[in-house]
Amino acid sequence: MLIGNIKTNRLFWGMVIVPMVMAIVYYAFLARDRYVSSSQVAVHKVGSEGAGEGMQIPGLAALMGGGGISGGNAAETLYVREYVISQDMLNALQKRIQWSKHYAGQMRDPWYYLSPDATREELLKYYQKMVTAQFDATTGLLTISVQAFDRKFADDTVSAIISESEQFVNEISHRLAREQVNFAEGELERSRLNYEAKRKAMLNFQGANNVLDAQRSAVARNDVIAGLQSDLTKAEATLRALRASLREDTPQVRQQKYQIQAIQQQISVESKKLIARNSNDQLNVVASNYQSLELNAGIAQDAYKASVSALESARIESTKKLRSLVIVVSPNMPDEALFPRRIYSLLTIFIMLLLIFGIAKFVIATINDHRD
């Protein structure tokens, strides 16, 4: 019995008293005070369809029954959260406030020690322990918290993070807007050049063939032939009338025959100009080629007009994609350290040690019973 009590006391000392004394020593002499500065932000639209919609604060909308943040804004706020705890943000803080120098080299608190020669991965892991970003899906707010050994440095770090996050949101949203507008401008320029090329080809064709409108010229030529055909019919009728009263060798009959031959020759000349016979100089070929060029120019013109409309639409849509970071709760300068919570932590450790001791004692007692 005495041996059992001695073993129990040793176990109690080893599992409860000694760890508890170590915890007391740590929290009393080693643990450094850590100040916490925090801020709440959200992403919102700069341009919106509805009045006041773009300036609506997500958390306020949720409290007033507005249904909280929209899916797009929630996703963009989550992008900000990932950026806050990323290597890019750490690099930015290193440039702005030399963030790691505040933590590196302090030997007092072993749990929050950062080696001056820490690797990039170790530094990022330590950074993510001291800087947190939590997103509330109900209100759509992102809470950024920073722990530091100095209250001013904690506040400066939060302010720097918010400043970098604002630049991140502005850069991303403006880049998306610029890409959309640049694409529309590129399409407009291509359409303009294509339209000008088609118009130039049509003008060159008109100059080379000495026609303003080949289709109209063909119609006019056809009208001339029709007029000559009418004149020929009248001349032949006159000839028949003359033959009825005069002989073939009379001057009037011979003159009328000459007139008919002249009209027929003119009809032949005009017909050759109108109807193609393997020659690009014929008017019907010219009209066909001109019509093709005119059609291409018309299509290019319609495409150019559509590109102008598309550019205007892209500019309007791009304004709807602009976002900005709203600071709902400004960074606060802490008056006192929130961590470590010494009494709470010591009580928690003591209770956990007692539970572990009780479990160990129960296991040992069970083993001893089986041996007996």
Q: Mind listing the pLDDT tens digit for each residue in 225-267?
A: 788 788 888 888 887 888 778 878 788 878 888 888 888 888 7
Does residue 49 carry a pLDDT above 50? no
- Give 34's DSSP letter: B
Q: What is the mean pLDDT of the chain?
A: 82
CA–CA dist 249, 28 (Å, integer): 147
Q: Which amino acid is at 159?
A: S
Residue in the block written with tokens 């005009």? 270
- Alpha helices by DSSP H, listed for the chain, are 2-12, 18-25, 58-63, 71-84, 87-97, 99-103, 120-130, 151-209, 214-245, 251-274, 283-320, 342-371
pLDDT 10s digits, 109-132: 888 999 988 999 999 999 999 999
CA–CA dist 6, 12 (Å, integer): 10
Does residue 7 carry a pLDDT above 90? no
Domain ranges in the chain are: 200-318
SS3 content of the chain, % helix, strand, coil (to 5): 70, 10, 20
CA–CA dist 274, 261 (Å, integer): 20
Question: What confidence score (pLDDT) does residue 204 get?
Answer: 85
